[in-house]
Amino acid sequence: MAAPRCPFPSLLLLALLALSAPALLRVRADGGEDARKTYIFRVDHRAKPSVFPTHERWYASAAFASSPDAAPLEPLHVYGTVFHGFSASVPASRAAELRRHPAVLAAFEDRARPLHTTRSPQFMGLRARLGLWSLADYGSDVIVGVLDTGVWPERRSLSDRNLPPVPARWRGGCDAGPGFPASSCNKKLVGARFFSQGHAAHYGASAVASNGSVEFMSPRDADGHGTHTATTAAGSVAYEASMEGYASGVAKGVAPKARVAAYKVCWKGAGCMDSDILAGFDRAVADGVDVISVSIGGGSGVTAPFYLDPIAIGAYGAVSRGVFVATSAGNEGPTSMSVTNVAPWLATVGAGTIDRNFPAEIVLGDGRRLSGVSLYSGKPLTNSSLPLYYPGRTGGLSASLCMENSIDPSLVKGKIVVCDRGSSPRVAKGMVVKEAGGAAMVLTNGEANGEGLVGDAHVLPACAVGEKEGDALKAYAANASNPTATISFGGTVVGVKPAPVVASFSARGPNGLVPEILKPDFIAPGVNILAAWTGATGPTGLEADTRRTEFNILSGTSMACPHASGAAALLRSAHPGWSPAAIRSALMTTAVVTDNRGGPVGEEAEPGRAATPFDYGAGHITLGKALDPGLVYDAGEEDYVAFMCSIGYEPNAIEVVTHKPVSCAAAAASGSDLNYPSISVVLRGGNQSRTVTRTATNVGAQASATYTARVQMAAGSGVSVSVKPERLVFSPGARKQSFAVTVAAAPSGPPAAAPVHGYLAWSDGGGGHEVRSPVVVTWLQPM
């Protein structure tokens, strides 16, 4: 296979290693060349001999064995909907033999992926009995599949009270298992399945609870993440909801009447195996879901090419069958080029704040007051002032981070302990302090997190502060002769300004794999989100946390993703004929880039700095406008195939994704020409100009409409953008119109290395529509 063009020099070596044919069967040195590993095999399903009634029988037969002496395969999963092939645990030598089988198109090693770990529907513009909620009947005819850690079915957020019958087209089922009878499903939770084969092959069959934690060999959620994401997307209305008093009110998902189908592909403490994720995609599409929500991703930086990425492959199979797929962008922000899940058929969702906060205040012995956040709900500090201690002064790096067994109990007993953020979970640091005898904790951000704050339900009185406040606190602890402090907790505050701002942890662009596609696509609420929680663990997720809560408050792009999934469910219900690309387009072109003060959306990590499309994509989704976007930028299989051709993928590599033979034109178009709602233009070397095309489809109520273009780029950028034609005239016989966008740099040459941002907006004047696309121009030198 030929490697796709790799635009960033820092990625070249890794890309070449990842894309070369021998690397399709990567073998780690730590396990020995013939160590047994799990591989995923993409098979040409048309090659099955007719004598075999099913593909599963063929894969397990002697006829498919790699040699006459080889034992028949024992597939872990057999895929037949979004992907054709199987996964199996075999020695590396056997995998290499199978790779040479004439029907095997590709093979890649299974790997584990991490999870990307109320008021938010209203913050996105939803109102009871009005607009999208009313028109879509709150999503009652739509089924949202959630690939995650399972579900806790007894929660009120999964009640089917007052719901109509399950849509007749639903083909799913309810897998029974320990603690999860088939009767756990209802008209709300219409399906629940679990996939453990890849997990068991990787960690061992007895590893489900080998870390000492509770886990269930069933769809039941021992972790909490899956219950939270499922009910964020489509939780039923639950009154008097709160997390131990915080965020009290009425909890409901974005699409509160949509049905939920839970696919447990992730296991507590072990992450999610690619082979199980792919099986979840395969089953969800076969069951008949309309939307798939995937708060799972790879690590920061290099992203695998699409034909080696099971999430991209599974999602393509789903999208090609009309299923909308939303994925989380990742939590590696604010690092540049950290965004993951970047395939153009996916909706990639970053995280923003909402106008709600949970303030805490630290009062120092010298009278200064420092602001922080906390979800601590236990007994308040009884003393007006306690000794303040920072272990990092004398204990080294491990002590400064409050790692396990790093703190001397004799030095912290009865004191407020200052801990630096990083290396271990935030809540785990609080447990370390508590077990060492500390009275309270202040968690301080460093440069990596800046001023971005996340509330946690700590096991002792504790709060988090930003980098500046943390530096001031540690300086006081170091220089005062008798440093003291106290912490007070402010409960829940709404109407916070500014909001939204881009969450500090939200992964950032540019797209490290294909810079011509701007990612993330948009941001959605992802900070301090209230939703239902498992009954198997406390709100911190720590084994030592014996508290149990019906709801929990979490932050992450994992929380932002189901907001987009729920939004897509509402749009699918309101516009059942729209494609997944049209739904994504409506969310993108109506997104907002201003906050609730009327200023530009800013950066949580750097207050006062305006965010850019690399941070928020098209902006923050707002569903009041997405219902009627005016125009959409649609795309389908032919467009995505042409796109993959344009970035240098060979037809046999593309076939791994598409499941059908493809051919590439002799002169492939640019990746920038994909009919995407955002416009990202890459000027390479001395090339000072580039023209890209787009096609807009009129989906407005008025078939006859005229739209006029308006372009705005940053002043002094040295870039001009022109649109031809400048007016698009639609009629009943002409619902689609194409246009060209030409980006040109000043004759004096490209400006500084920083990309240039702006936007293109199409307006129909009195019709009330403004269809907005971010425009990003980047210069790259040839490699």
Say whether 225 is catalytic.
Answer: yes
In this structure, how many other beta carbons lie within 10 angstroms of the beta carbon of residue 46? 10
Active-site residue identified among 110, 141, 148, 355: 148
d(CA 55, CA 420) in angstroms, rounded, equals 54
The residues, any chain, with a CB within 8 Å of residue 173's CB and separated by 6 or more, are: 191, 193, 287
d(CA 402, CA 767) in angstroms, rounded, equals 58
Is the bond into 725 cis (omega within 30 degrees of 0)?
yes
d(CA 106, CA 94) in angstroms, rounded, equals 14
Active-site residue identified among 225, 228, 458, 620: 225
Give the angle subtended at the CA of 122 by the CAs of 764 and 458, to the nearest 5°: 140
Is the bond into 520 cis (omega within 30 degrees of 0)?
yes
d(CA 453, CA 352) in angstroms, rounded, equals 12
d(CA 514, CA 672) in angstroms, rounded, equals 9
Say whether 223 is catalytic.
Answer: no
Supply the DSSP string of 477-507, one letter for each residue. Answer: HHH-SS-EEEEEE---EES-SS--EE-TTS-
Give the angle subtended at the CA of 159 by the CAs of 154 and 161, to the nearest 5°: 145
Residue recorded with tokens 């890459």: 682
Residue 336 has what DSSP assignment?
Answer: T
Active-site residue identified among 504, 558, 565, 773: 558
Residue recorded with tokens 């007994």: 379
3-state secondary structure of 374: coil
Crossing angle of the two packed helices 651-658 and 637-646, in degrees rounded to 10: 150
d(CA 410, CA 564) in angstroms, rounded, equals 49
d(CA 313, CA 315) in angstroms, rounded, equals 5
Kindly tell me the sign of the dihedral angle through the C-alpha atoms of 599, 602, 604, 605: negative
d(CA 443, CA 572) in angstroms, rounded, equals 43
Say whether 573 is catalytic.
Answer: no
Distances (CA, A) of 190 to 153, 176, 289, 295: 11, 13, 10, 20
The residues, any chain, with a CB within 8 Å of residue 504's CB and separated by 6 or more, are: 333, 334, 449, 450, 451, 452, 453, 603, 604, 605
Please report the beta strands in 237-368, taking only residues with DSSP state E, as ranges in sequence order.
238-243, 246-251, 259-264, 266-267, 271-273, 291-294, 324-328, 347-352, 356-357, 359-364
d(CA 720, CA 758) in angstroms, rounded, equals 10
Give the angle subtended at the CA of 756 by the CAs of 751 and 757, to the nearest 5°: 165
Q: Which two tokens stand for residue 687?
A: 């090339």
Q: Is 51 exposed, middle or buried (0-12, 13-18, 19+ CB in 10 A)?
A: exposed
Helix (H) or strand (E) holding 370, with range, is strand 369-373
Q: Could you give phi then psi for residue 688, rounded to 5 degrees?
A: -105, 5
The alpha carbons of the chain give a radius of gyration, in whole angstroms, of 26
Is the bond into 500 cis (omega within 30 degrees of 0)?
yes
d(CA 709, CA 723) in angstroms, rounded, equals 7
How far is Cα of residue 701 from the mean position of the Cα atoms in its chain? 33
Residue 73 has what DSSP assignment?
Answer: P
Q: Which two tokens stand for residue 673?
A: 């020409």
Supply the DSSP string of 190-241, one letter for each residue. Answer: EEEEE--HHHHHHH-TTGGGTTS----SSSB-SSSHHHHHHHHHHPPPEEEE
d(CA 10, CA 96) in angstroms, rounded, equals 30
Residues carrying an active site annotation: 148, 225, 558
